[in-house]
Structure 1
Amino acid sequence: MTTLIVFNLSAGYGAARVLDGVSFVAHGGQRVAIVGPNGVGKSTLVKVLLGLLPAARGSVALDGRPITAQPQRVAYVPQRAEIDWDYPTTTAEMVAMGTSPRHGMGWLRRPTQLAAGALARVGLQAQASCPIGELSGGQRQRALLARALLRKADLIVLDEPLAAVDRTSEVVIWAELTRLSAAGALVIVVHHDLAAARAQFDACLLLAPGSALFGPPADVLKPSALDRAYGRCVAASGEMHAHRGTALCRAA
């Protein structure tokens, strides 16, 4: 079973520490939601998990080895805004870019076949030859997920994959995340919907200024913890309401 151990992690930019003393252990087969208000280090944590940003202190290990020493075991689904959708390529070609050394050199002879299988899993067979710039928002997110699927990764990190997607794409993405975790992958999702975090995930990491709380959603997403994290009351539905004059804001 894949095991991710994050121990006493601190990271940031220059002298500024965005994360400070974050520790948690997650296992293959789990779906883990990262939640918290803006500016508490969710994106920073993702960059450290991906090996894109060094930790100032602490460690990140996958099955006892530094995560930076085994990038082929990690896949990433970024936010749609991080991709240049004007780039002149087709959906199938973009998805084929997700292949990794795990496929061996044989992938060079069959990128179309590999991409076709991944596109079928996310319901985009008909868009295989479509320029990526012509895809809808939900289709773009599904294409990014298909690209990540080709890595056959043990750890999959997704940054708000359900933000502003259509209902069809939402159903497809949830189904694929469920399938991945059932197959033994560790799925970590930066998410803003607290109601979905309670209902759809096995564990939650709640980041707040100067603190981090990890565990089952029922234990982590208690009103007292959410009020400390967001500085406002959070309704049971997951919607955040103004508290002490603070403007309404989504939990991202």
Structure 2
Amino acid sequence: MTEARGSAGQNGATHARHTPGTPCWVSLMVHGMATTQDFYGSLFGWEFEPGPHQLGQYVRALLDGHEVAGIGQLPPDRHLPIAWTPYLASDDVDLTAETVRLSGGTVGVGPLDAAEAGRMAIASDPTGAVFGIWQASAHLGIGITGVPGTPAWNELVTRDTESVVKFYQGVFGYALEPAAASDFDYVTLHLDTRPVAGIHGVGHDLPRDRGPHWMTYFETADVDDTVARVTDLGGHLLKAPHDSPYGRVAKVADPEGALFSVIHSVR
């Protein structure tokens, strides 16, 4: 984009259980747990609690006592791209994982239990973009939206929407809303008439070192101020703040290179 299309919830709203296919969690695997927590804690005001322990060295980020994201430790010998990964809700992660395989995707991790918190898998679509699948038990996912420091939107950045949109529609049952402008390759994914995520085809502008990937947008009260703090904290500006129909937005990276966007949404 990449322009976000707004938050999935109302200000301060908490969620009891997410409709299958809804982005319900975002997680980041890094090499430097302490420095990453310092960065996001300073940037968004997050505090951290450990667990679930079945996921190894893993912490949940809290904002005003509500869970908003997770950060885990990569093994020292794993040199994987550092990236935010959205998790899509499922009532049956084993069935969803099998549907992913039958639809041309790949399941790289799981399905596996995360103790009493729930059951999960990590998969990739046919173009290689990685996403998670989450079947909630005690842990119901993101507990607050629409306020600064919370995930506001998730968007798949890919070469073209046609190559992958049928995969996500088949696995999660999304209704599709193509962009009105013929020169803007964008499809919004809907559940129960509600927009929940987007797919943006960028053609040759797709970064060669990244390939197709999911982008998480985080809400902020002031995009320009947040960008300045990102760079002060050791991160990087990738696309300068600019106005869009959905709010002021910028693309940045944290000190380990994880891409994310910040947005002040139009309400």
Whether TM exceeds 0.5 here: the answer is no
Bigger helix fraction: 1
User: Which protein, 1 or 2, shows the higher relative CO under an 8 Å CA cutoff with sep ≥ 6?
Assistant: 1
> TM-score if structure 1 supplies the norm length?
0.29
More strand, by proportion: 2
Bigger Cα Rg: 1
